[in-house]
Amino acid sequence: MTRFPTALHEEIAGLSGTFLAGHPSVDTVLVVNSCARGRAIPESDLDLAALVTQAASLDEMHSLELAWRQHLDGQGAVQQFCRTSPFAQVHIDIFNGSFQPTVWDDGGGPDDFELAIGNRVAYAEPLGKPGDHYVKLRRRWLPYYEDSLREQRLEMVRSTCLFDLDHVPFLVGRSLHFAAFDWFYKAYREFLQALFIARRRYPLSYAKWIREQVHERLNLPELYKALPPLLSVSRLESTELGDKADTLRRLVLQWT
């Protein structure tokens, strides 16, 4: 259930919902991310999403976002909200509910396919009564997408993760330690993506809320204990990163 951290968050959400709901192409206005999950703090952004009908064109979606911004620019509550913190912003995503899985080429991954469904469908909270399009999206994508697609994506993500880990000792051997860390962190996020696909759960992020997701939502406290040390590199210009790549590889094989 949505729990706004301040009255300003709630007021601006209401202003946005009233304005957007009056547009003929808008099906449902949603609160997303931290506010939707009741995890926001007073300094948090207000993140919204507007689901439009599938008939809405890209130009219509762009015009809708522009009109929304112009509407909010004249609201004193928004100006006051943005002064509360240097990071306080009001964001909106206009989307039509089309979620298309990608096929990764060399260097691809991780992607936002599961993230988008999770944050816009599974964990979002409607402002007002949900529209028909949103109700259909929930029926289509929840509790998870079909097994045939899941198996394809799990294999793609898992194999890419392992391939990326192969780069780490190779680059360490060439003293390209910063590049090795880049490939390692890419594989780390792909591991998280594979972990959620394997368990038929939609993620929130591969960079934030890791404890909440792995320890609490997936109920894997033992695995979570192993994750922070992986990114704690005491000496980058050494073979340490290669050892961590070996550890992450074992986690991939064990948990996905």
Strand-pair partners of 30: 49, 126
Q: Are residues 230 and 127 in the same domain?
A: no
Q: Are residues 181 and 247 in the same domain?
A: yes
CA distances, 139 to each of 121, 133, 145, 146, 163 (Å): 10, 10, 10, 12, 35
Query: From CA 153, how far away is CA 194, in angstroms rounded?
Result: 8
Q: Is the dihedral of CA 14, 19, 22, 28 positive or negative?
A: negative
pLDDT one-digit tens code per residue, 148-200? 999 999 999 999 999 999 999 999 999 999 999 999 999 999 999 999 999 99
The pLDDT of residue 1 is above 80: no
Q: Are residues 52 and 82 in the same domain?
A: yes
Domain range for 158: 147-255
pLDDT one-digit tens code per residue, 105-120? 887 889 999 999 999 9
Query: From CA 35, how far away is CA 4, in angstroms rounded?
Result: 6
Domain count, the chain: 2
Strand-pair partners of 92: 48
Q: Residue 114 maps to which CATH number? A: 3.30.460
Q: Are residues 76 and 162 in the same domain?
A: no
**Cα-flanking dihedrals φ and ψ of residue 190, to 5°?**
-65, -35
The pLDDT of residue 68 is above 70: yes
pTM of the model: 0.94
Q: Are residues 90 and 214 in the same domain?
A: no
| 255, 153 contact by CB (below 8 A) | no
